[in-house]
Structures are given as structure tokens and as C-alpha cells.
Amino acid sequence: MIAVSLLGSPILASAGATFIQTLTKSIALGCVYALVALGFVLVFKASQVLNFATGGIAMAGAIFMSILIADRGFPFLPFTNPLAPAVGETASVPLWMLHVAIAMMFAALLAVVLERVAIRPLVGQPLFALAVVTLGLEVAITPFNRDATAVSSRSLGVPWKTNSWEVAGAIIPKSYLAAAVAAAIGFAAILLFYRSRLGVAMRAVAFDQEAAMAQGINVGRVFSISWALGASVAALGAIMFGMAPFPPGGAVSQEVHTILAFRVLPVIILGGLDSVMGALYGGLIIASFEVFAGEYLSGYSNILGPGYSTIVPYVVMLIVLLVKPYGLFGTAEIRRV
């Protein structure tokens, strides 16, 4: 809501300011998309599962965070959160980040459990069967995210609220910087992790499961870790997306879920299902198409329909796939008889 009023407001005098604002917004949104897409990619690289439940798991993490910090309690349990800020106060930045970490751990735990229970028994089955299992998980998680926690839009207790900077007439919310920093940390951490011993094991598993097993790598453990990592970066993305100026209005709501679960699909397709940096580029490209189309084509919105910018990612995806069937950065599959 804030984003809408900012972009449409008469405060913006110059075209340059509009451009700067659109650009920063698309970078910030791209960072969020990239984080969630990274959640998909990490899981797909290690276990060859297209995890449709990423959105649901990430959303569960964000809602967990909201319950911890805004309701000062625990989901379904009659305890209060001892770490929560006092009633009527917002958390300080370090405390808030601690809660983010807890929420990421919760999402990781949920993902590990789901992987162990629902995905592990199916190792070796066709990719499609695995994808559909995660689709089933997604459908099963959704009511808990949507209905059991009751509130249609939940505050995340963001310490900097809706504060923003003004640069050359353009208004840049602090959340944009937070999203960019989160993405930078997330991607740096994952890239560093890939250099560690466990990360090398993960890449080996991604390359050839059987050969990795023969080298003494515990493939099951690699699966668990990749699911945990994927879920936690996706949850980080979900939390960043729940912050103030992002499209649905700055709170964890059902719309956040739709976006996380399905609008990130064009991002991973564009970047390629198995490319970490592809997730980042894909996120930035898709988000800039979406945001720039939303800003500069708004004069045609009575022809394009209300909310047309939300399908821009799918249209871009369709066009890219028809030209490059494995995305911009994905590994082409060699077809043999």
C-alpha cells in the first residue's frame, strides 16, 4: 500500500527520481525473489527435487517469526516468548535479527522433517513424482499458514518500520537496503559453504549420487542439510518480503504466499533450476521486468487489466523458455535414447 502511494504520489517531481525509485525497488524485490529462488535451487541441486513446498515452508517460517515477535508467544502453545520486546515496543535491530535467525531455524527444521518423512522414501522415483509429492505437501501446509494462524495479515515487528531515505527526490525505504543486505549475506554464505568440506560433498551428490555414495559421502545427510539450507534462505526471503514497502502491503499475508510459492517459479526457470548465481540474476531480471512494467506501463492498465505486473514474470518466462529451453544459466540435459 505504501509502495503504491509512494510511486503514484505527486511528490515525485522528476522522471529521474521515478527512475531511481523504480530501479531500487526492482533491485530490492529482485533480492527477495533471488533468496526464495535460492531455496528452490539448493534443494534441486542436491536432491533433484523441484520443491513446490518451498513457498509454504518459507511462509511458515515468516508466520512463526510474526507469532514470536508480534504476538509474543509460540504457535499453538500457551507460553510467552521470553525474548520478545515489551508490549507496545518494537524490537531492537539485533533482537529482531535474532528472531529472524530463530524463524529460519524453524523453517529448516520443518523442511528436514518433511524431507525425511515424505521425500526420502521416494528417492530414485521419477522427478515428476517427487515434484508432485512436494505439491501435496504445499497443499497440506497451506491451511495451517492461512487458516490456523487466523490473522489475514501479520506484522513482523520490523524495527525500522516504514522509514525511508530521500535521495535526489526519490524515496528509498530502509527495507530495500535490508533486503539487499539479506540477499548479499545469503548468497555469500551459500557460495562460501560450497567451498567447505560439506559443500564439496553436496556438489558431488548433485553431480552423481551413486558415485558420491561410493566415495563415502552420506547422501541422506547431504539431502537433509540442503533442505535445511534451502528452507532457511527461503524463509529469510519470505521475512524480507513481509516488510513494509513490498507489494502486498508489508505484512505476512496470503498474497505473500502466492508470490513465494509460484511467482518465484519464473525466476528459477530463467536462472536455470540448478544454478546458484542463476537464481540471483533471474531474480533481478524478473523483478526489474515486473517493477518497470508496473511503473512505466501503468498508463495502459485499462487495457492490460488491473494488477497486470503480476503476470509479467510468467510472460517473460514463456518467451525465454521458447528461446532457451533450460533457462539462461541452467545445464542443458543431454538426451539419449
Partner 1 sequence: MAVGRPLLRTSYDEDASIFPSTFQKSMVGFALFWMLLACLGVSPFDAPFTALLGATWLNPMTKTLAFAIVALGLNILVGMTGQVSLGHAFFMGTGAYAAVVLGGDGDTAKACVPFHEQLGILDRTQDCGLGLPIWIWLPMAGVVASLIGILVAPAAVKVRGLYLAIVTVGLVFIGLHLGRMLPEYAGDFESGRRWPKLEFRFWKEETPLVDFTSNGKWFGFLEVTEEQKQFLLIFVILLFFIVLAKNLARSRTGRALQAIRDRDVAAEVMGVPEFQYKRTAFAISSFYAGIGGALFASYTGRVSPIDFGLLLSVDFIAILLIGGAGTIAGTLMGTAFVELLPDLVERFTGWLSGKTVSNGPIGWFANILLTDGTAGNFGPISTSATAPGWPMSTFQWNFVIFGLLIVIFLIFEPLGLYGIWLKFKSYWKGWPFSY
Please report, as ranges, the residues that interact with partner 1 according to CB under 8 A.
50, 76, 118, 121-122, 125, 127-129, 131-133, 135-144, 146-150, 262, 265-266, 268-269, 273, 302-308, 310-311, 314-315, 317-318, 321-322, 325-327, 333, 335-337
Q: Which is nearer to partner 1, 146 or 161 (CB)?
A: 146
Smallest separation (angstroms) from partner 1 to the CB of 47: 13
The DSSP call for residue 246 is: S
Q: Of 16 and 307, which CB lies nearer to partner 1 in the complex structure?
A: 307
Q: Give me the least distance between CB of 129 and partner 1, in Å please.
A: 6
Burial class (CB in 10 A: 0-12, 13-18, 19+), 261: buried
The Cα angle at residue 83 between residues 39 and 99, in degrees rounded to 5: 15
3-state helix/strand/coil string of 111-137: HHHHHHHHHHHHCCCCHHHHHHHHHHH
CB of 193 to partner 1, least distance (A): 25
Q: How many angstroms separate the CA atoms of 60 and 248, rounded?
A: 17
158 vs 270, which CB is nearer to partner 1?
270
DSSP annotation of 13 reads -
- What's the min distance (Å) between Cβ of 276 and partner 1? 18
Distance in Å, CB of 143 to partner 1, minimum? 4
Angle, to 10 degrees, between the axis of helix 15-47 and the axis of helix 276-296? 150
Nearest residue (CB) to partner 1, 173 versus 327: 327
The residue among 96 and 241 lying less far from partner 1, judged by its C-beta, is: 241
For 163, the grid coordinates are 522509514
Least CB distance to partner 1 at residue 149 (A): 7
CB of 304 to partner 1, least distance (A): 7
Question: For residue 88, what are the contacts with CB-CB under 8 A and spacing of at least 6?
Answer: none
Which grid cell is 279?
Answer: 537464481
Nearer to partner 1, 158 or 231 (CB): 231
Other C-beta atoms lying within 10 Å of the C-beta of residue 89: 9
Nearer to partner 1, 161 or 324 (CB): 324
Other Cβ atoms within 10 Å of 30 Cβ, number: 27
CB 250 within 8 A of CB 2: yes
